[in-house]
Structure 1
Amino acid sequence: QQLVKNFFLNRERSLIRKINEAIMSLLLELHYEKKDILEAYANEIYLGQDGNRAIHGFGLAAKFYFNKPPQELTIAESVLLVAILRGPTYYDPRRHPERALERRNKLLQIIWRDGLIDKQQAQTAMAAGLGVTPKPRLGSSRYPAFIALVKRQLQQDYRDDDLRSEGLRIFSSLDPVIQQVAEKALVSNIKRLERQPGLLEGGVVISRLGSAEVSAVVGGRQPRFDGFNRALDIQRPVGSLLKPALYLTALSQPHRYTLASQIDDAPIKLKQSDGSIWSPANYDHKNHGKVLLADALIHSYNQAAVRLGLELGLGQVADTLHELGIEERIPPYPAVMLGSLELAPLDIAQMYQTLADEGFYTPLRAVRAVLDAKHQPLNRYSLDTQQRFAPEQTFLVNDTLRLALREGTGRSVARQLPRSLALAGKTGTTDDLRDSWFAGFGSDYLGVVWLGNDNNAVIGLTGASGALRVWADIMGQINVTQAAPAQPANIEYVAIDATTGLLAGSGCQQEIKLAFIAGTAPGEYAPCAGGAVRRSVGGFLDRLKGWFR
Structure 2
Amino acid sequence: RHFTKDDILEAYINEVYLGQDGTRAIHGFGLASEFYFGKPTALLSVKEIALLVGMLKGPSAYNPRTHPDRALERSHTVLHLMADQELISSTQLKKALAGPVSVIPVPTHSPFPFYLDLVKRRLLEEYREEDLKTMGLRIFTPLDPLVQLAAEKGVAEFMKTRDQHRDLEAAVVVTDSASNEIQALVGGKRARFSGFNRALDALRPIGSLVKPAVYLTALSEPGTYTLVSRVSDAPVSLEAPDGTLWQPRNFDRKNHGDVPLYKALVHSYNTSTVRLGMTLGLDAVADTLGHLGHTPSPPLVPAMLLGSLDMSPVQVAQVYHTLASEGFYTPARAIKAVYTPDGDTLQHYALTIEQRLAPGPVFLVNKALQAVVSEGTGKSLARWLSPNLGIAGKTGTTNDLRDTWFAGYSGNRLAVVWVGRDDNLPTGLTGATGALQVFGRIMAKLPNTPLDPGPPDDIEWAVVDPVTGQRTGRDCPGALAVPFIKGSAPDHLTPCARTRQQTGPQPTAPEPESHRGETKKPRYLIDWLKDVFK
TM-score w.r.t. structure 1 length? Answer: 0.68
Is 1:315 matched with 2:283? yes
Correspondences of 1:118-197 after superposition (within 5 Å): 139-157=108-126, 163=132, 166-196=135-165
> Which ranges of structure 1 fall in alignment gaps of 5 or more residues?
1-136, 535-549
Does the 8 A contact of 1:162 with 1:378 survive in 2? no
Partner of 2:336: 368
Is 1:412 matched with 2:380? yes
AA partner of residue 176 (structure 1): P
The whole-number CA distance in structure 1 between the counterparts of 2:386 and 2:403 is 27
- 1:135-194 per-position Cα deviation (integer Å, ceiling 9, x unaligned): xx9942111111111111112355779757612100011000010011001111122135
- Check 1:481–1:380 CA distance in 2 against 1; reply closer, same or farther (3 A cut): closer
Give, in angstroms, the shift of residue 419 of structure 1.
Answer: 1.9
Correspondences of 1:4-83 after superposition (within 5 Å): none
Give, in angstroms, the shift of residue 480 of structure 1.
Answer: 2.6
Q: What is the aligned residue count?
A: 396
The whole-number CA distance in structure 2 between the counterparts of 1:361 and 1:271 is 36
The whole-number CA distance in structure 2 between the counterparts of 1:153 and 1:247 is 33
Give, in angstroms, the shift of residue 415 of structure 1.
Answer: 5.8
The whole-number CA distance in structure 2 between the counterparts of 1:516 and 1:182 is 37
- 1:216-267 per-position Cα deviation (integer Å, ceiling 9, x unaligned): 0011111011001111111111110011111111111222211121111111
The whole-number CA distance in structure 2 between the counterparts of 1:503 and 1:144 is 56
Partner of 2:467: 499
The whole-number CA distance in structure 2 between the counterparts of 1:376 and 1:286 is 64
AA partner of residue 311 (structure 2): L
- Check 1:496–1:158 CA distance in 2 against 1; reply closer, same or farther (3 A cut): farther
The whole-number CA distance in structure 2 between the counterparts of 1:379 and 1:416 is 41
- Check 1:373–1:316 CA distance in 2 against 1; reply closer, same or farther (3 A cut): same
The whole-number CA distance in structure 2 between the counterparts of 1:385 and 1:519 is 29
Correspondences of 1:438-477 after superposition (within 5 Å): 438-477=406-445
Does the 8 A contact of 2:107 with 2:194 survive in 1? no
Partner of 1:7: none
Is 1:273 matched with 2:241? yes
The whole-number CA distance in structure 2 between the counterparts of 1:173 and 1:502 is 48
AA partner of residue 145 (structure 2): P
AA partner of residue 175 (structure 1): D
The whole-number CA distance in structure 2 between the counterparts of 1:380 and 1:157 is 13
SS at match of 1:294: helix
Give, in angstroms, the shift of residue 369 of structure 1.
Answer: 0.5
Does the 8 A contact of 1:491 with 1:515 survive in 2? yes
Is 1:234 matched with 2:202? yes
The whole-number CA distance in structure 2 between the counterparts of 1:274 and 1:523 is 47
Give, in angstroms, the shift of residue 496 of structure 1.
Answer: 3.0
Partner of 1:287: 255
Partner of 1:223: 191
AA partner of residue 180 (structure 2): A
Match of 2:361 among 393, 417, 420: 393
SS at match of 2:287: helix
Give, in angstroms, the shift of residue 493 of structure 1.
Answer: 3.0
Q: Sequence identity, in percent?
A: 49
- 1:296-344 per-position Cα deviation (integer Å, ceiling 9, x unaligned): 1111111111111111110011111111111134000010110111111
AA partner of residue 490 (structure 1): D
- Check 1:285–1:219 CA distance in 2 against 1; reply closer, same or farther (3 A cut): same
- 1:50-99 per-position Cα deviation (integer Å, ceiling 9, x unaligned): xxxxxxxxxxxxxxxxxxxxxxxxxxxxxxxxxxxxxxxxxxxxxxxxxx
Does the 8 A contact of 2:108 with 2:194 survive in 1? no
The whole-number CA distance in structure 2 between the counterparts of 1:334 and 1:483 is 33
Give, in angstroms, the shift of residue 377 of structure 1.
Answer: 1.9
Does the 8 A contact of 1:158 with 1:379 survive in 2? no
- Check 1:504–1:437 CA distance in 2 against 1; reply closer, same or farther (3 A cut): farther
Partner of 2:269: 301
Does the 8 A contact of 2:336 with 2:349 survive in 1? no
Is 1:262 matched with 2:238? no
* Structure whose CA Rg is larger: 1
Partner of 1:333: 301
The whole-number CA distance in structure 1 between the counterparts of 2:249 and 2:236 is 8
Give, in angstroms, the shift of residue 487 of structure 1.
Answer: 2.4
| Higher relative helix content | 1
Partner of 2:219: 251
The whole-number CA distance in structure 1 between the counterparts of 2:126 and 2:280 is 36
Does the 8 A contact of 1:231 with 1:346 survive in 2? yes
> Which ranges of structure 2 fall in alignment gaps of 5 or more residues?
1-105, 506-534
Partner of 2:55: none
The whole-number CA distance in structure 2 between the counterparts of 1:236 and 1:517 is 35
SS at match of 1:474: helix
SS at match of 2:406: strand
TM-score w.r.t. structure 2 length? Answer: 0.70
The whole-number CA distance in structure 1 between the counterparts of 2:427 and 2:211 is 23
